[in-house]
């Protein structure tokens, strides 16, 4: 009788172990039996359709324009695909320079072969670093505030992102043929409106360069991309 009870108890333990093993197998799961693929933390969910309908509004157009036509000194200038925030090699974020953080000035003329060449200088007056990339907007103005001549054109060039620490400067070239040489119709501006890349508000600078061509032969004015320094 005792042997029979022992065999019964052993059989009960075996049944319980098998049942427990089955329960653990059903509940444990190695992840392969889940109903769908899991999304890893930090990865974007897969696209469910075609291209997105929205656009990244802060990012400028990849196709530069030749400045504004409404006399706002190219207020909506494009920098050729520059985001409003740039990440440096060290991983720190540097925001683009806004008009309110900059001071504009006109450097000394560097003439040559009948050509006048002035650097447009933007200096960071803020307490933090910011970036410039691309072309400035520019327009000559009379004392009465009227724009003189068409918007400047853009010389060919490859824009680079220029990081300005507080107090640092970047410059873009402004060039035109001397009106006395080209025989273009000329006028003497009172000021130059300068708009930083991707900004709407302009800075007004007293024009020190005398006459500029406004129409006729060789009347075009050209701008270059920003580079570090003052262009001196």
- Cβ-contact 175, 46 below 8 angstroms: no
Q: Between 89 and 92, where is the model more confident?
A: 92
Among positive and negative, which fits the CA dihedral 54, 60, 66, 70? positive
Please tell me whether residue 63 adopts helix, strand or coil conformation: coil
Per-residue pLDDT averaged across 152-178, rounded?
95
User: 190, 193, 152: which is closest to 173 by C-alpha?
Assistant: 152
Q: How far is CA 7 from CA 2, 11, 18, 19, 21, in A?
A: 9, 6, 17, 18, 21
- For position 65, what pLDDT does the model report? 37
- For position 219, what pLDDT does the model report? 85
Per-residue pLDDT averaged across 5-18, rounded?
44
3-state helix, strand, coil in the chain (%, to 5): 15, 30, 55
Taking the alpha carbons at both ends of the chain, their separation in whole angstroms is 112
pLDDT in tens, 54-65: 333 343 433 333
- For position 218, what pLDDT does the model report? 80
Q: Which residue has the tokens 């009948």?
A: 114
pLDDT in tens, 179-215: 988 889 999 999 999 999 999 999 999 999 999 999 9
- For position 14, what pLDDT does the model report? 45
Q: 108-113: which pairs have CB atoms within 8 A and are 24 or more residues apart?
A: 108/232, 109/209, 111/178
The rounded mean pLDDT for the chain is 73
A 10 A CB-CB count for 77 gives 28
pLDDT in tens, 114-149: 999 999 999 999 999 999 999 999 999 999 999 999
C-alpha 123/C-alpha 126 separation (Å) is 9
Share of the chain above pLDDT 70, in %: 59
Please tell me whether residue 18 adopts helix, strand or coil conformation: helix
- For position 92, what pLDDT does the model report? 53
Domain boundaries, the chain: 85-228
CATH of domain 85-228: 2.60.40
Q: Between 172 and 53, where is the model more confident?
A: 172
90: its two tokens: 């060290």
C-alpha 6/C-alpha 27 separation (Å) is 32
- For position 47, what pLDDT does the model report? 34
- For position 230, what pLDDT does the model report? 94
């Amino acid at each position: 009788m005792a042997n029979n009870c022992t065999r019964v108890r052993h059989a009960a333990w075996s049944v319980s172990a098998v049942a427990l093993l089955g329960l653990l197998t059903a509940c444990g799961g190695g992840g392969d039996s889940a109903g769908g693929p899991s999304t890893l933390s930090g990865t974007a969910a897969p696209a469910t359709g075609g291209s997105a309908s929205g656009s990244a509004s802060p990012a400028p157009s990849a196709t530069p324009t030749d400045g504004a036509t409404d006399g706002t000194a190219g207020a909506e200038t494009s920098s050729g695909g520059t985001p409003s925030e740039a990440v440096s090699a060290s991983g720190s974020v540097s925001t683009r320079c806004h008009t309110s953080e900059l001071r504009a000035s006109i450097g000394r003329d560097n003439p040559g072969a009948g050509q006048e060449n002035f650097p447009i200088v933007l200096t960071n007056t803020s307490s933090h670093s910011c970036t410039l990339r691309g072309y400035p907007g520019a327009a000559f103005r009379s004392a009465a505030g009227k724009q003189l001549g068409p918007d400047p054109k853009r010389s060919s060039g490859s824009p680079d992102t220029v990081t300005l620490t507080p107090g640092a400067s970047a410059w873009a070239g402004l060039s035109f043929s001397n009106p006395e040489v080209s025989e273009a119709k000329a006028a003497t501006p009172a000021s130059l409106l300068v708009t930083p890349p991707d900004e709407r508000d302009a800075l007004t600078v007293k024009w020190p360069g005398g006459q500029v061509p406004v129409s006729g032969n060789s009347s075009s004015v050209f701008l270059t991309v920003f580079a570090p320094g003052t262009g001196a």
